[in-house]
Structure 1
Amino acid sequence: MLLSSVCLSVVTIYCIFTSANAYKSFTPCTGDEDCIGLQDAKCKGNVCICNGSRFCKEEVKTPTVTKIGERCNTTEECLPLQSECGPNNVCTCHEGYVEEPSGRKCLQVSEGMGSSCIEDVQCYTKTAHTVCRDNKCDCHEHMHHHNGTCYNNVALSQACTTELECSLTHAAFCLRGKCSCLDSHAPNRNATKCLPVALGHGASCEDDVQCTVTLGGASECHQGTCTCKEMYQLKASIGKCVRDMLLGDTCAEVSDCHEPFEGNTTRLECILGVCKCQPSYVEVDGFCINSSGKEASSIILCVVLSVLFIFL
């Protein structure tokens, strides 16, 4: 009986003593995460204290470092996982890890484009100009990646420093500091894409520029086909669209002379540098008319009637 009383007294004294010291850990804090090193501890009054039946013993006075970059003496003092006390006596993350913005965690550096992530810092630590988007490392907006490197999206005619900045536009490259189309292509009228240059008259097209590169400025894309504009014809010897040399115009060769009407391509010829009617045609009111048949009679009748109308 006496022994039981003594034991009870000892236990009571121990409990009183420990409970009196149960709320003193000497570990400052601003949140519960600062009390990671203490069992079941919570941050109350800017000090880590115990929770439930656990006790924070007063003699536990080991300093704790809760943020990367703060001073330390030993690695044991650095609370963030994957951290250590570095040579400069500050807590640093292990190799291959990087501190999150709050400095309370060390996160694994992502392997590159498309790797999983939580924070941007995991991405741009290894790959420049990257962010964490939808938990995957990706390039900043208005940028694209090629072989794991991010490049600016540069449109045609805009300034560039490398060919890969122009690569979003098919058949484009960086020429003298600007994104340009390859010689085999030409920019469309809105300069949004490079189109293949048409091979010649009659080639398929979708924009005038495809024709003008080959046939000259007097050509156009008409109903999906490269052709010469009205009052112009294809001069085969040079492969360009040239102005029609009409009756009386100066010329250098037979093919220069041309009347702009279907079927009239053979009525003129170049004689002594001037476009004149061929022998089987006569000039009537500025046109070469068949010297025999209804065509000449019709034209002459129209001319006579026009003259009579003027004087009546």
Structure 2
Amino acid sequence: MGGLGLFLALLALVGQGNVMGQGAEKRRTGNVCSVDMDCPDNAFCRQSSYCVCKDGFVYAAVNSTHKGCLKEARSGEPCVQHIQCHSTLGVHSECADGVCACVGTAHLEDDRCYETAVVGERCVVDQNCYLGEPGPPRQAFCVRGYCTCQLQFSPRDNGTRCVRDATLGEECEDQLQCAGPGLQCRGTCRCRENWVAHNETNSCVESVKALNDPCEYDVQCDALAGVPEARSPGAALCLGGACSCAYSAHAVGKPPRCWHRRRPGQECRRDEECVSEENEPGYCLSGRCTCKTCSPDARDFGAASTMSQPPLLIAAILAVAAILRH
């Protein structure tokens, strides 16, 4: 076991030396040497045999007649040859106007040039997916070889933007942004006609159109409570999986709608609310429920609402007489 371990260690060391040698070979100048003094500037003599550029330098043409070790350059740094930029920025860089920069089809990210792809285009790494907004958070990722918006985002403008999906009550820029059934964009995501907001789930649910139709939430039955111009909140509920009138309400009209039950003498707003103890339909008079045969009736409300002028006049005369007597 000891011999095998030593063999593997030596093999790894040789492999490491080969890798280092390959890196150095890329910087080999071609000059024969015995000592460092035999090599050009920014190079050293390797194994007393040949010259190699120092770390951070690459061998390239300095001009049309002379080659040498040129300093590697990063984005925005001066350069002479493309290879100075490739060493640090990758192959999607170039030396343009004496300065290292990414080529026109690439962008700079993490100090390296990556070929640019928008949503829907092919990619190799996440850094290819560039939407013109550097820095976190990243909105697009390389998924199975194609740039894709992150979860709960969708593409816009030919894949150059990713827009977050909006929920009920949030601002939106178009219909696609309102994610979920029954939503429409009107500056903010709102429920469409015949849909209502269910606050507990922050979503839209479809309104039920008739009593006894199936439902899941009370809010689906709201349209059956009263009429649009005079609602009767809470008069219709989802009971046993179907829209029904609440226990304190009754169904009136065609098609039937639910109204809170008001007895004779109680305050009211609409005739539909009024019903006697015998369930005889009544009517709303002067803000109070009454009916033809129930008590109190319409005559009671008429007498209660006004007072005849003669009794008032007599009371005034008696008061004046009492004052004059004293």
So what's the TM-score if we normalise by structure 2? 0.56
SS at match of 2:101: strand
Match of 1:168 in 2: 179
For 1:254 and 1:172, the matched residues in 2 are separated by: 34
1:182, CA displacement in angstroms? 0.9
Deviations 1:65-87 (A, max 9, x none): 34232212344544342332213
1:241 matched to 2:250: no
Q: 2:141 aligned with 1:132, yes or no?
A: yes
* Percent identical residues: 19
- Identify the residue that residue 110 of structure 1 maps to in structure 2: 117
d(CA) in 2 for partners of 1:23, 1:207: 89
- Alignment partners' CA distance in 2, 1:254 and 1:92: 79
Matches within 5 A, 1:91-106: 91-103=100-112, 106=113
The answer for the alignment partner of 1:201 in structure 2 is 211
Q: Which residue of 2 aligns with 1:61?
A: 68
- The CA distance in 2 between the partners of 1:62 and 1:229, in whole Å, is 90
Say whether the 8 Å CA contact 1:68–1:90 is kept in structure 2: yes
Amino acid at match of 1:98: H
CA distance in 1 between counterparts of 2:183 and 2:155 reads: 16
**What is the CA-CA distance between 1:229 and the residue it aligns to?**
0.6
CA distance in 1, matches of 2:214, 2:182: 19
Q: Is 2:31 the counterpart of 1:20?
A: no
Distance between the aligned counterparts of 1:275 and 1:179, measured in 2? Answer: 47
Residue 191 of structure 1: how far off its partner (Å): 4.5
1-structure distance, mates of 2:116, 2:272 = 76
Partners of 1:127 and 1:156 lie apart in 2 by 27
Deviates more, 1:17-26 or 1:178-187: 17-26
Structure-2 residue corresponding to 1:156: 168
Counterpart among 272, 275, 279 of residue 257 in structure 1: 275
Return 249-258 or 234-243, whichever deviates more: 249-258
Deviates more, 1:94-103 or 1:246-255: 246-255
Could you tell me which residue of structure 1 aligns to residue 202 of structure 2?
192
Deviations 1:24-54 (A, max 9, x none): 45348xxxxxxxxxx995856x6679xxxxx
2:121–2:147: 8 Å Cα contact kept in structure 1? yes
1:229 corresponds in structure 2 to 246
1:220–1:226 contact (8 Å) kept in structure 2: yes
Secondary structure of 2:291 counterpart: strand
Give the CA deviation at 1:222. 0.8
Alpha-carbon distance, 1:198 to partner: 0.9
Structure 1's 179 and 61: CA in aligned 2 closer, same or farther, altered over 3 A?
A: same
Question: Number of aligned pairs?
Answer: 231
Amino acid aligned to 1:92? A
Q: Residue deviations 1:116-147, cap 9 Å, x none?
A: 24243x22245896243557533356534466
- Preserved CA contact (<8 Å) 1:110 1:123: yes
Q: Distance in 1 between matches of 2:120 and 2:218?
A: 41
Unaligned 5+ residue runs, structure 2?
A: 1-30, 44-49, 60-65, 226-231, 295-326
Partners of 1:26 and 1:48 within 8 A in 2:
no
Superposed CA RMSD = 4.1
Closer/same/farther in 2, CA of residues 94 and 17 from structure 1, 3 Å limit: closer
